[in-house]
Amino acid sequence: MDTLKSIVSLIRSIAASLSAKAWLVILGVILGISTSIYGVQWAAFKFAKQEVDCNNDLYFDIAHSNAVSPQQQLDAITKAGWSHSECFKSIAPNIGTLQFLREQNERQKQGRP
């Protein structure tokens, strides 16, 4: 019981020493709202990185296709184009940071740029 009281008193002392700006940042982190220019830039970076990943996947798929004849090459480009448009539809503008980092880690494990 004493441990709980000490934790509560620690939280109260920290809360009393925080400024309004710090509370705004904490509230933004909890709600997932960008409350500073850095948060806005991070959200824009995550969105742009997903777009770049779609383009990289398109070129990666075309470059690593085993198409020999012109018809096979055309089929590979057509197939990659369909997956490219599906990729752009699946971009999540409000993706969480942990999910974004997991996806980027998985891309690296797959050998994707």
**Cβ atoms of 107 and 53 closer than 8 Å:** yes
Q: Helical H runs in 32-69?
A: 37-63
Question: Is pTM, for the whole model, over 0.75?
Answer: no
Nearest-angstrom CA–CA distance, 23 and 44: 23
Query: What is the per-residue pLDDT for 106?
Result: 93
Helical (H) or strand (E) element with 26: helix 20-31
Query: What is the per-residue pLDDT for 49?
Result: 94
Q: List, for the chain, all residue ranges whose pLDDT scores fall below the cut of 70.
A: 1, 29-32, 67
